[in-house]
Structure 1
Amino acid sequence: MTLAEWIILALKASLFLVVFSLGLRATLKDIAYLLARPMLLFKSILSMNIVMLGFALAAASVFPLPLPLQIALLGLAMAPVPPILTWKQKRAAGTSSYAISLCVTASFLAIILVPLAVALADAVFQEEYRMPSIRIVPIVLISVIVPLVLGMLVERFAPATAARIAQPVGALGTALLILAALPVIFVTLPAVWVLVGRGLLLFLALFTAFGLLVGHTLGGPHAHDRVVLALATGTRHPGVAMAIAAYNFPDEKAAVAVVLLHVFIGALVAIPYLKFARIRAAPAHDLDR
């Protein structure tokens, strides 16, 4: 296998492991959380899939963004919620059932919503964007559904084992994602570095900051729900975003690197919000005691 093939395999494995660790803590009740709360489901889709797509379309229309950055922003706005943020949601006292349900629901809805969003981008920019549902299904199955079900089976039949390995497996998946992303960014560094002077870091940071604000606002009256939706809106599943970029612009290798770079930029921008969320959550914990 070539280095590129190993990197792709590592990226897929990292997401598989993180969602598997999520499944080790999940129940069917967790998955059905949003089905019992249709208004919260509507606000979640509005926040992640409509408002953020509008932000990306507006940024690409108003500002002369370089093509790799434009592709990355659109891909990130179209992609479903990222499993890699569930550990942050837990640390920030986010509702775990909501995070699990949102991960699953958003991934399933991506099969319909991503092609619709791509068609809208095509109508706006006349770039002949394409992303058929058949290309989304394998990504959702491999990166979300299969590892989640496997994790839930372990939790069902070996709960002690599930509790013991959940955190190490999740940490391994996150570390593997970072290790796989770094070579891609390093190889494309000359092309990416040119984009830095054209607003790359600024717009990636704005994407996350705006997403945090929108998600926190639409997350409802409960502080824990706001945390989950804020983090889910501000950062996205890199697998789908990279697939959109590679399918429509196979020669724009820098676009894939920009998507992966957002994993790091998004994490940095989210740090102040996570601290804010933990401080706000502290009084609620005190009242529960």
Structure 2
Amino acid sequence: MPPLLPRKESKAGGDEHYALGLMAILALLAIVVTPLEIMILQSVAGRPLEMASGTVVRVVLISTLLPLAAGMSLRAFIPGLVARIERPIALIAKVLLPVAVVVLLVAAAPAMLALIGHGGILIAMFIFLSVGLAVGHVLGRPDRNHSVVLALSTACRHPAIALSIAAANFPGEQFGAIILIYVLLGAIVAVPYLAWHRRQSRTALGPA
């Protein structure tokens, strides 16, 4: 799952500790599970596919485990420094991330439009995302704070791992646009689910 997802899940009312723990566990599992998935896809597709475990390890370490470990270490051993830099860093991230997203979308827009075509790929992605949200929500019950975390985590994928798999097996192709379409559609599909989740939470709490 994407490293930035736990923050989104926390804002949606999910259990922050559960979200971070789930991210760390899934990051570790990805090292073993991703090559196994490649083997399954290889047998289904009937063509040789490859994905070195070392590549997955590198992506997982750089994007998830090392930053998480660094943040935990700083908070544990230098809490005063963390208290001073936490707000400025969060502000910088809030500014830079939307700018980076806009730049990526503008640069990839022509390729994205060409891939969308008659909408078949959007329908397939919509079904995949919707099923992921539904399955994750059900498996996270009865705790609704776990349900929203597991729903979003089940529907989302780590873009860097997806890009690494695609680049390793189809080196002459460009896959950035298709991954951006999936990420963007995932954000859109999650909107009605999150709205429904908030209504359910308010109903369960009842009048103040």
TM-score of the two chains, using structure 1 as the length reference: 0.64
* CA RMSD, Structure 1 to Structure 2 (Å): 2.5
Is 2:78 the counterpart of 1:158?
A: yes
CA contact (8 A) 2:111 2:177 kept: no
Report the equivalent of 2:44: 124
Rounded to whole Å, the distance in 2 between the matches of 1:256 and 1:172 is: 25
Report the equivalent of 1:213: 134
Letter in 2 for 1:194: A
- Note the C-alpha offset of 1:153: 1.6
Rounded to whole Å, the distance in 1 between the matches of 2:74 and 2:136 is: 32
Letter in 2 for 1:136: V
Rounded to whole Å, the distance in 1 between the matches of 2:132 and 2:21 is: 19
Rounded to whole Å, the distance in 2 between the matches of 1:264 and 1:213 is: 19
The range that moved more, 148-157 or 98-107, is 148-157
- Note the C-alpha offset of 1:122: 0.6
CA contact (8 A) 1:104 1:145 kept: yes
Rounded to whole Å, the distance in 1 between the matches of 2:134 and 2:87 is: 29
Is 2:24 the counterpart of 1:104?
A: yes
Rounded to whole Å, the distance in 2 between the matches of 1:236 and 1:205 is: 14
Task: Give 1:247's match in structure 2, choosing from 159, 168, 186.
Answer: 168
Residues 31-56 of structure 1, C-alpha deviations (whole Å, 9 max, x = no match): xxxxxxxxxxxxxxxxxxxxxxxxxx
Report the equivalent of 1:226: 147
Is 2:42 the counterpart of 1:140?
A: no
Q: Identity rate of aligned residues, in percent?
A: 38
CA contact (8 A) 1:155 1:162 kept: yes
- SS, match of residue 83 in structure 1: coil
Report the equivalent of 1:203: 124
| Gap runs ≥5 in structure 1 | 1-80
Report the equivalent of 2:8: 88
Residues 234-254 of structure 1, C-alpha deviations (whole Å, 9 max, x = no match): 11111111111111112220x
Aligned residue pairs total: 207
Letter in 2 for 1:101: G
| Gap runs ≥5 in structure 2 | none
Relative contact order (alpha carbons < 8 A, sep ≥ 6): 1 or 2 greater? 1
Is 2:181 the counterpart of 1:268?
A: no
